[in-house]
Structures are given as C-alpha cells and as structure tokens.
Chains A and B, each alone.
Chain A
Amino acid sequence: MGLLNFTRDPVPEAVSGDMHNLNQLSAQQFSDLTEVLFRFLTEPKEVERFLAQLSDFATMNKISLGPLKNIVKSILLVPSGALKRNLSPEQVRADFIALGLSEEKASYFAEQWKVNSPTLTRLAVGQTLMINQLVDMEWKFGVTAGSSELEKVGSIFFQLKLVVKKGSQTENVYMELTLPQFYSFLHEMERVKTSLESFS
C-alpha cells in the first residue's frame, strides 16, 4: 500500500478485510450506506440517530450489526483524517482505492464528499486547530462573596484547570464555569460517553 493522504500511521489490519466486505455490497446498498454515513458526518453529534439508521440498514440488508459497525469504523477513519488535513475529493478517492475499495465505490464516495464539501469544510475549520491531549484536570468551586456586580453576590462558580499536552509541551488552561455551565458540561460529557460506548 502506498502512502496514504489521510494518515501517517499504519492502518489497522482489519481495514482491508472490511473494504473487501464493502465491495460485496451492491451499488444501491453502498449508496444507501453512504447516505447514512454522510448524514452523520455532516451532523456529527447525532450519534443516536446514526446508530439507529445503521441498525435499520443492517436489518433491511440482512447483515449483522456487529460486523457492520466494524466496517463503518474502518470507513470513518478516512473522513476523520481527511477533515483534519483538509483533503480534496480526489485524495479521499485515492485513499479508499489504496485501502482496497473498488474504484467505482471509491469514486462514488468521493463524489458525495464533494457534494457535502461546504458543510464538511465548515466542520473542518474547527479541527485544523491543533489537537491536544488532556493529561490532567483539577477543579475547585467556590462562592463569590460579593463584587461590583450585584447578581454575583453569593453565586457558586466552578474553576477548572486542564493540563494539556501539545506535542512535547505541557500547558495549563484555566477557566471558570457558572453552575449551569458545569451541569451542562457534565451532561454533554455523559452523552459523549454513551456515544463512545455505542461505537465500541
């Protein structure tokens, strides 16, 4: 396999097997699956909906959901990398072919990539920023005794310190959250956990 555009790392062994299985789908099936994938890629927080649609696809096409999820994870490696690197449809097509997907299906996927490109580009803007690893987290919360703003008297605030690693450097990031923001943050993180679990 030549150099891939979407990643510099070696690709999981399972991927070529998954591409082989994808090649067995009819053009219509592949088109349906691609539609589900792009709906997710353009609205990435709609994890529950995505999984429901995958489940429907599996049922309708008499495929087991477990293997289908693995195939989907292999496919999604490419868009994930492509968004971070701002790849063109041609590069996406080339990568799928290099991974073992048929030319016809790779071209079809790349065409959908192009069609959805405005939304995907907008999402990618956030991702081309450097991605950091979260190393540690500390917090404290306290009560403001009073300040020049009357509303803040006696309000609880939550202070968070994130220790993040950018390459070899470590940086501390401090921020303050209001109590509603804290609960919202917790709620969102619980949603993330559920989402990650359903992908495993």
Chain B
Amino acid sequence: RLSMSPSRFAPRQAPSKDAVRQLCQECFSSPPASLGPLAVRTCSSLAVSPAEAEQLVPALHSLTRHIVYRGLVRAEDILALFPETFHQNLKNLLTKIILENISAWKNEAQESQISLPRLVDMDWRVDIQTSSESISRMAVPTCLLQLKIQEDVALCGNSPVVSALTVELSKETLDTMLEGLGRIRDQLSAVANK
C-alpha cells in the first residue's frame, strides 16, 4: 500500500481533465531527477501551491509506476490503492486515465530499461499446516517465504517504497523452484567457464 496523504491531492479548483491526463503521463515517464522541474510546471497547470506540487508529483510518479510494475489491470485494484478519504471524483478520474495508459506505459517501461523493483531482503520459516490434499488431513511442513521488495531506488527519491510479499511454498512447489534455480546456476556456470 502506497502512503498517499489525501492532502496531496486537493487542488483548490477542479483541474481540467486534460491537465490531469497530461500530468499522469509526465509523472510516469519522468525520471526521478526531472520530478522537481515537473512539479514547478505543475503549479500553474493545476492551480496548486509549490508545496502541494512537490508532494503530488512524486506520489503520482510512484503510484503510476507501482501499478505498471505490479501488473495491476483492474479498476478495483487501482482504486484500492487510494486512501478512503481521497477525493472521490479525482480518484475515479485518475483510475480511468491510468487504465487508459497502462499498456502504453508498460511498453515504455520495457523499452526504456527502467529498472525493476529490487529484492532487498528475504526471510523464511517452516510452518506446520494441515494439508488439504490428503483425505486424512495430515500436518505437513510448508515454507513461509517473505520477500522485501523495493521499488527502484531511482524512482522513489528520498522515500523508497518497500513492500513485503509473503508466499507459501509447499514442498512440491519448492522442489520445482529449486529445479529451475539449479538450471539457472548451471547456465551461469557454463557462461562463466566459456
């Protein structure tokens, strides 16, 4: 869940839809270094104060990139990212605009080599659970794997967004995963030994 305080999105007068559309596009495409100047330009087009623009632009940048990298495609999933107190009409408008742009932005991301989110930490533990597969319902060990993922440092500036993903792996899934990872290790060795 991204932290977006509602006050960042409360322009004093309703911005034009085109201005919002343009802003979303620019926020997504802009590399972090250009967010500052973009914020300055935004003040006039959206009638927000410089302080508001300075918060709005990076937040919109993180939001649009998060949506693209997570592969969110449904309106419900995007709407769920906004805080409950968020301005309803603006939320709907932003969601609509984002949905219109998603596939174009995905292509843009792939072509421009924006980095993927990075793994920053991982942790695991063994969990004993009831297996729903066997009729007699046995207690079986599974693995709970927690991955901490950071949106590209370059994207987030001073406040990188780190999300935690907890995944449950059965022994079978783990075996399959290890088979795959082992093949990669073999491929890497082959490359290294050339």
Contacts and interface: CB of A to CB of B under 8 A. Distances in A.
A118 interface: no
Contact of A10 (B113, B130, B145): B130
A176 interface: yes
B47 interface: no
Interface residues of B, number: 52
Interface stretch (A28-36, A56-64, A102-110, A133-141): A133-141
B165 interface: yes
Contacts of A200: 140-141, 171
B125 A45 contact: yes
B177 A137 contact: yes
A164 B165 contact: yes
B141 A196 contact: yes
A126 B116 contact: no
A193 B116 contact: no
B19 interface: no
Given A12-B137, A77-B139, A129 B149 contact: no
Contacts of A126: 123, 146, 164, 166
Interface stretch (B83-91, B97-105, B180-188): B180-188
Contact of A189 (B77, B174, B188): B174
Nearest to A83: B127
Contacts of B116: 159, 174-176
Nearest to B184: A139
Interface stretch (A19-27, A89-97, A180-188): A180-188
B70 A164 contact: no
A77 B130 contact: yes
B178 A189 contact: yes
B71 interface: yes
Contact of B129 (A14, A80, A179, A195): A80
Contact of B139 (A45, A73, A179): A73
B177 A176 contact: no
Nearest to B113: A147
Given A164-B167, A186-B181, A11 B130 contact: yes
B111 to A, nearest CB: 14
Interface string B117-138: 1110011111111101000111
B112 to A, nearest CB: 12
Contact of A174 (B117, B144, B188): B117
B142 interface: yes
B167 A175 contact: no
B7 interface: no
A153 interface: no
A11 B177 contact: no
Contacts of A132: 165-168
B115 to A, nearest CB: 6
13 contacts: A10-B130, A14-B139, A129-B166, A130-B166, A131-B167, A172-B70, A174-B117, A175-B119, A177-B119, A179-B188, A182-B181, A189-B174, A190-B178
